[in-house]
């Protein structure tokens, strides 16, 4: 039985700052994104003894998502399973473009 599901969005990247469609472009977290990932509120999970944790961490296989997942999982001594099916959707030829370039006038 699943009691709880926790979703974490990846931390900030340079593409986020520049308001670029990232899609499946595999960029890393920036300094702010790495800091935010490490400060995820996990205190509730730390209170549960490691021997009784029934937790798994599954992440997209994109680097930014794996960095965020590891920031959470490593603090709890958990492994991370990468799964390409959790990737952000592809934006095709729009990937890397700014919102204004994709949708002029927005």
Q: Hey, which residues are catalytic here? A: 10, 88
Distance (Å, whole) CA 71 – CA 30: 14
Q: At what angle do helices 31-38 and 63-76 cross, to 10 degrees?
A: 30
Distance (Å, whole) CA 4 – CA 96: 35
């Amino acid at each position: 039985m699943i009691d709880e599901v926790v979703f974490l969005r990846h931390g900030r990247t340079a593409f986020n700052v520049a308001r670029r469609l990232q899609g499946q472009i595999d960029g890393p977290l920036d300094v702010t994104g790495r800091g935010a990932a490490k400060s995820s509120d996990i205190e509730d999970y730390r209170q549960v003894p490691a021997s009784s944790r029934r937790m798994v961490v599954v992440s997209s296989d994109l680097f930014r998502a794996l960095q965020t997942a590891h920031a959470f999982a490593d603090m709890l001594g958990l492994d991370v399973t990468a799964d390409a099916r959790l990737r952000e959707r592809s934006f095709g030829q729009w990937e890397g473009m700014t919102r204004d370039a994709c949708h002029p006038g927005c």
